[in-house]
């Protein structure tokens, strides 16, 4: 196109990064960069990175190697790394990768337009300073067409929990809550342009507001968001089990817009491992919270994260993870082999479970989860569920939507119903989705 500059963003990691990438795209419109999905046409390539496990970090270096040639062939191409690997490595990345132009940390998104202009003049820069005030959280993502039916809204960032295996507190900094007035304003303006569902984002959403005297509590924030006319559904992630309060549980019972799904990572089923992970709860306490959630909302679906092969995890410990899964009956579970992260307290422990053993435990865990997921999905066959229609299905010949419990449903209907809530009768259950028909 005639002189227009094109921006290609590759996003790794969690929803926070997905949301940050939307903000980056909005910010860079200011210096005339427009998004493209064709990397070969890009004038600026940004890798928005994740360092939660070693594999995620290595991926970044593979991508950087891949773009080395492109940089040689296209003189004016700019290459930038943002996100959690950028935060972790900072200036070192510029030294290690001589063809890299820019490094920006997780607190420095707002500096990007200025940094890109400097890079256009040939300046190489790394900005990874932590900025511990809430102003930087106020970057509204693009409010335009198409992707607006369901939106992410950041309510807090950072983490103070320091689970012993986890790098997130080091790369995202301390917990900071965004002002509730800003959160409400963003949701109101999204709803005005067609948004029906919001997913509130934070590394630990349920500690929202706890650190500031004059901010509302998380349950109160949910009540205020619930009162927004035109908004149909509220989701949030991630919740930390230790911060699930009776007031929050009551929201699931009392606020119809709060969806019947919670992502509540346990990480392990054995008290010995939970203590060594510094998770701040026991198996019994976790199960008490699950029971209270199910009592408040009998149809609530629970998903989670689990780590296998944490230092010192015995076969007995691992079997407790499996038995916890059976007790909770997770609808879905993300599971990971333990990966040592530099600077975390667990890095001082011997990584004594072999790669093969970790892999074997992971396979056993995933086999069990497949049966639990299928069991969960099969329960819906024959029932009618309310579905928010998000768009065409992956294969393109049907429509795709989500149930209140966050199950994906494919069904045949006219595209004109995209963006609305419809009743769908479930006719078949698969591992990863449900098949339905308009009821
Ligand atoms: N704030 C969220 C997400 C953290 S990162 C939470 O507390 O749940 C997402 C998941 O990655 C974690 O829940 C954990 O299961 C996994 N994870 C984090 N560090 C890891 C490590 N060093 N090795 C393997 N998995 C890890
Ligand atoms: Fe990491 Fe634990 Fe914080 Fe989650 S709660 S981001 S696992 S330190
Ligand atoms: Fe990864 Fe950073 Fe998210 S480490 S999981 S992208 S907070």
Q: Is 50 annotated as a binding residue?
A: yes
Ligand nearest to the CA of 202: 1
SS3 79: strand
3-state secondary structure of 81: strand
How much is the CA Rg of the chain, to the nearest whole Å? 22
Tell me, what's the pLDDT at 38?
95
As its CATH architecture, domain 5-127 has 3-Layer(aba) Sandwich (3.40)
pTM for the whole thing?
0.95
Which residues sit with their C-beta closer than 6 Å to ligand 2? 159, 161-163, 166, 168-169, 203-204, 240
- pLDDT(143) > 60: no
Domain 384-438 has CATH 2.40.50: yes
- Residues in the ligand 1 pocket, defined by CB under 6 Å: 52-53, 165-166, 168, 203-204, 238, 240, 265, 267, 305, 307, 336, 338-339, 341
What is residue 1's predicted lDDT score, i.e. its pLDDT? 46
**Residue 144 in this model has a pLDDT that exceeds 70:** no
Residues 6+ apart with CB under 8 A from 4: 32, 34
Q: Which of 50, 164, 169 to mutate to test the pocket of ligand 2 (most atoms within 8 A of CB)?
A: 169
> Is any atom of ligand 3 closer than 6 Å to the C-beta of 111?
no
Q: Is 251 annotated as a binding residue?
A: no
The CATH number that domain 147-259 falls under is: 3.30.750.210
- The pLDDT, as a whole number, for residue 141 is 62
Mean pLDDT across the stretch 8-37? 94
| Average pLDDT for 252-260 | 98
CA nearest 120: which of 47, 40, 35, 31?
A: 31
CB burial string 203-231: b at 16+ within 10 A, e below: bbbbbbbeeeeebbbbbebbbebeebeeb
What's the Cα-to-Cα distance from 273 to each of 322, 364, 366, 435, rounded to whole Å? 14, 18, 19, 39
Averaged pLDDT for residues 38-49? 96
User: CATH 2.40.50 spans which residues of the chain?
Assistant: 384-438
The pLDDT value recorded for residue 378 is 98
Residue 435: phi, psi to the nearest 5? Answer: -110, 130
Q: Given pLDDT bands bounded at 50, 70 and 90, which one contains residue 147?
A: low
Task: Report CA(237)–ligand 2 centroid distance (Å).
Answer: 12
CATH 3.30.750.200 domain position(s) in the chain: 290-379
Alpha-carbon distance 161 to 249, whole Å?
21
Is CATH 3.50.50.60 what the domain over 290-379 is classified as, yes or no?
A: no
pLDDT digit string (tens) for 82-114? 999 999 999 999 999 999 999 999 999 999 999
Task: Give the Cα separation of 206 and 155 in Å (integer).
Answer: 10
**For residue 258, is it left (φ>0), alpha (ψ between -120 and 50) or beta?**
beta
Best residue among 208, 269, 305 to mutate for probing ligand 1, ranked by most atoms within 8 Å of CB:
305
Identify the band that residue 213 occupies on the pLDDT scale cut at 50, 70 and 90: confident
**Is pLDDT at 225 greater than 90 in this prediction?**
yes
């Amino acid at each position: 196109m005639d002189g227009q500059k094109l921006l290609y963003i590759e996003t790794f990691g969690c929803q926070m990064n997905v949301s940050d990438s939307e903000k980056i795209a909005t910010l860079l419109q200011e210096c005339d960069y427009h998004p493209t999905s064709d990397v070969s046409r890009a004038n600026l390539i940004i890798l928005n990175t994740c360092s939660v496990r070693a594999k995620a970090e290595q991926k970044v270096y593979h991508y950087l190697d891949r773009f080395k040639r492109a940089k040689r062939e296209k003189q004016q191409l700019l290459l930038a790394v943002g996100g959690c690997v950028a935060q972790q490595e900072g200036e070192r990345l510029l030294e290690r990768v001589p063809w890299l132009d820019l490094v920006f940390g997780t607190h420095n998104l707002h500096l990007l337009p200025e940094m890109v202009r400097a890079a256009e003049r040939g300046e190489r820069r790394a900005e990874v300073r932590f900025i511990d005030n809430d102003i930087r959280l106020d970057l509204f993502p693009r409010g335009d067409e198409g992707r607006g039916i369901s939106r992410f809204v950041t309510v807090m960032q950072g983490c103070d929990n320091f689970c012993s295996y986890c790098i997130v507190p080091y790369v995202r900094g301390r917990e900071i809550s965004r002002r509730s007035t800003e959160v409400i304003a963003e949701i109101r303006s999204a709803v005005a342009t067609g948004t029906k569902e919001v997913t509130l984002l934070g590394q630990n959403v349920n500690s929202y507001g706890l650190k500031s005297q004059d901010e509302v509590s998380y349950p109160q924030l949910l009540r205020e968001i619930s009162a927004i006319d035109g908004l149909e559904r509220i989701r949030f992630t991630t919740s930390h089990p230790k911060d699930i309060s009776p007031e929050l549980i009551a929201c699931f019972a009392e606020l119809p817009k709060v969806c019947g799904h919670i992502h509540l990572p346990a990480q392990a089923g054995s008290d010995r491992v939970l203590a060594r992970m510094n998770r701040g709860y026991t198996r019994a306490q976790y199960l008490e919270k699950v029971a209270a959630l199910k009592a408040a909302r009998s149809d609530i679906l629970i998903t989670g994260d689990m780590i296998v092969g944490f230092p010192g995890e015995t076969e007995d410990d691992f079997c407790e993870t499996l038995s916890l899964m059976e007790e909770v009956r997770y609808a879905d579970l993300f599971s990971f082999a333990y990966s040592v992260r530099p600077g975390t307290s667990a890095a001082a422990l011997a990584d004594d479970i072999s790669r093969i053993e970790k892999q074997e435990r992971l396979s056993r865990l995933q086999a069990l989860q497949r049966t639990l997921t299928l069991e969960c999905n099969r329960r819906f066959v024959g029932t009618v569920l309310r579905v928010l229609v998000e768009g065409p299905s992956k294969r393109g010949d049907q429509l795709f939507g989500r149930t209140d419990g966050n199950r994906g449903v494919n069904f045949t209907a006219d595209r004109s119903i995209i963006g609305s809530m419809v009743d769908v009768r479930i006719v078949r259950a698969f591992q990863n989705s449900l098949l339905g028909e308009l009821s």
